Amino acid sequence: MIKLIVLGVGLVLIGAIIWWFFGKHTTASAVAAVTADQQSVDIEVSGGYSPENVVLKQGVPAVLNFTRKDASSCLDHVVFSDFGINQALPKNQVETVTIDTSTPGEYQWACGMDMFHGKLIIK
């Protein structure tokens, strides 16, 4: 009996690992809402970033509004290394990060420990 349980647990673990590495994970993307002179995207921080791909229009001043719902200290900073930004995200508070959109390209952002990532596309 114990062998069957061990076998069952093993199979479930293998399934979970296969799903994790090869499964189709959906990544939420968002295009910024653009007005004449301002664009913004709201990003929820909870076990990662949602959306984790953000598209911004080049040349329009942009803000990202981060709200951290996650209690873990892992996500309490957000780092945009290309922009020299390392900002604290107090829990349950909207924290605005201003992005310089003058140069088109793809930029990564990450948590303070570089474990969770998001992508910024300026075009």
Which residues are at the interface with Cu ion (CB under 5 A)?
74, 111, 113, 115
Residue 63 near residue 38 (C-beta atoms within 8 A) = yes
DSSP of 9-54: HHHHHHHHHHHHHHS-----EEEPEE-SS-EEEEEEESSSEES-EE
Of the pair 9, 115, the CB lying nearest Cu ion is at 115
Q: CB of 73: closest distance to Cu ion in angstroms?
A: 8
Of the pair 61, 112, the CB lying nearest Cu ion is at 112
Q: CB of 37: closest distance to Cu ion in angstroms?
A: 34
Residue 2 gets the label, from left (phi > 0), alpha (psi -120 to 50) or beta, of alpha
CA dihedral 49, 41, 100, 36 (to 10 degrees): 170
Q: CB of 75: closest distance to Cu ion in angstroms?
A: 6
Q: CB of 94: closest distance to Cu ion in angstroms?
A: 20
